[in-house]
Structures are given as structure tokens and as C-alpha cells.
Amino acid sequence: MEKVHDQEHDKANCEYQHHFFNNIISSNINNSQISVFNSYEEDINSFEFSSYDAFLWTGGLGNIYTSNQHNKDQLIICEKILKLEKPLWGSCWGLQVVATCFGDTIKKSKRPEFGCSDNIKIIKNHNVYENKQDTFSAPGHHYDCLESLCSEFEVISQNNLSIQSIAHKDKNIFCTQYHPELPYNFIGNLMKYWKKNYLQLMTEEEFSLLLSKLESLEIEDKYNRKLEIENWLKILI
């Protein structure tokens, strides 16, 4: 994420998104060594990406099709990682960066998804979705979506609003448009911080009902929220 985006998390009194990845990795891979790379803190040209066994890309708040230095750096980092041909997971922004590196097109969604993505359907078998319900909801929050997909990837899941997950046909690259790593109520807390933005798009009552829905989804965990990442991590062991 950009520095300003991390600062927004601080103001909202919310954890950084990478903390949730860290917790999932630590819970599934014993003695794992985890480092967090922030492009606004590190020299992307001298950083030793090759010393890592796998990579997980968090969400972000920008638009990958916007021309700015942060986005250029993100694409350079992705290209460096792809050349290593090591396992790569991308969530939301991660999907959009990876897809852009492969020449795919990201566009503004006709209808954004706030808080959660509903009625996601698995349309192709993949070991990441082992023991997952065929149709499920997941934490999701995005204004952009994947418009086109190159021949190296295939769509694994989708709903009526967007492609929800893709997998490389030959490499261990899996990306979701949604956020299996993030608790629903974490997204809800960020939404509370940006409440005035959402009240331009929905009523106070609708906003309140959405927050209640997110709380319930996290408590019930009906769809086994973290399962995809846990299955993917098992492949690495």
C-alpha cells in the first residue's frame, strides 16, 4: 500500500492488512519467516526478492490504471517477482497488479462491492477451493474489476458483478478479487471511518444493516473465510 493508505489505517485505528496475512501464515506454516515489503520504504531496485520462497500481495486503495509513481513501482516489483517463478498469491489490489503485468485490463466496476462479495460461484475445480462450498460469500471491497484475461490464466470463480478469482495455468499464481485474509468486521471498521463516503451511495439504514451483516458473517464463518489461503499454503509445505 502507499504510505498515505497506511496512514489512513492508523487514523481509523485499524491494523495494517499485512498483519492478517502474517497471522494466517504463522498458523499454518511452523517456523515461517515473514517479511513485509513496503515500496515507499525500500529501494525496489536493490531489494533481494530472490531470497524469498513465496509472495503474498495485499489489498490497496488505488486504481492500477492511474499513472503515478506508486503504481509504476508496484508493476516493476511484480515483474521482478514473476521472473523468479516462485509461488504468488494476490488479493484484490494484488490481482489487479498481477493481471496488469500480464497485459490484462482492469476497469472501473459498473457496480462496486462494499464489505462483502456475495454469490461467488466456483466454475472450475482447483485445489485452492478444496472443501469450499460451490457458492459462497467472502470479504470484498473494490471499485475496479478485471475486464479481460490473457490465455495464461483461467477464471476459477465469479459472481454477477466481476471475476472473483483466477489461476495461472502452469505456475503457482492464484489471485482473488475478494479478501479471504481480512475479517469482515475489519472492513466494517474501515467503512465506519469513511462513513460519509458511503452515505453518498446508500442510506444511513442501509449502511447500518451492511455493518451488521459483516459482523454476523465474521461470527458465523459459514463459508470458512480463510480456507483458500490455508489450502494454498499447504501446497508450499
**Residue 28 near residue 57 (C-beta atoms within 8 A):** no
Please give the CATH number for the structural domain made up of 3-236. Answer: 3.40.50.880
- pLDDT for residue 23: 96
Encode pLDDT of 145-163 as tens digits.
999 888 899 999 999 999 9
What band does 40 get if pLDDT is binned at 50, 70 and 90? confident
Distances (CA, A) of 170 to 57, 120, 173: 19, 24, 9
CB atoms within 10 A of CB 141: 20
Phi then psi for residue 186, to 5 deg, are: -65, -45
The three cell numbers of residue 91 are: 488479493
Q: In the β-sheet with 163-168, what is the strand arrangement from edge to edge?
A: 55-57, 88-91, 173-176, 163-168, 153-158, 116-122, 135-139
What band does 39 get if pLDDT is binned at 50, 70 and 90? confident
Encode pLDDT of 164-194 as tens digits.
999 999 999 999 999 999 999 999 999 999 9
Encode pLDDT of 59-72 as tens digits.
988 899 999 999 99
Distances (CA, A) of 225 to 104, 141, 178: 27, 15, 11
What band does 1 get if pLDDT is binned at 50, 70 and 90? low
Domain boundaries, the chain: 3-236
**Which residue's entry shows cell 475445480?**
125
Burial of 115 (0-12, 13-18, 19+ CB in 10 A): buried
Continuous H helices in the chain: 3-11, 18-28, 69-84, 93-101, 184-193, 195-198, 204-220, 227-236
- pLDDT for residue 27: 95
| Helical (H) or strand (E) element with 156 | strand 153-158
- pLDDT for residue 58: 92
Q: Can you tell me the distance from the alpha carbon of 179 to that of 66, in angstroms, rounded to the nearest whole number?
A: 22
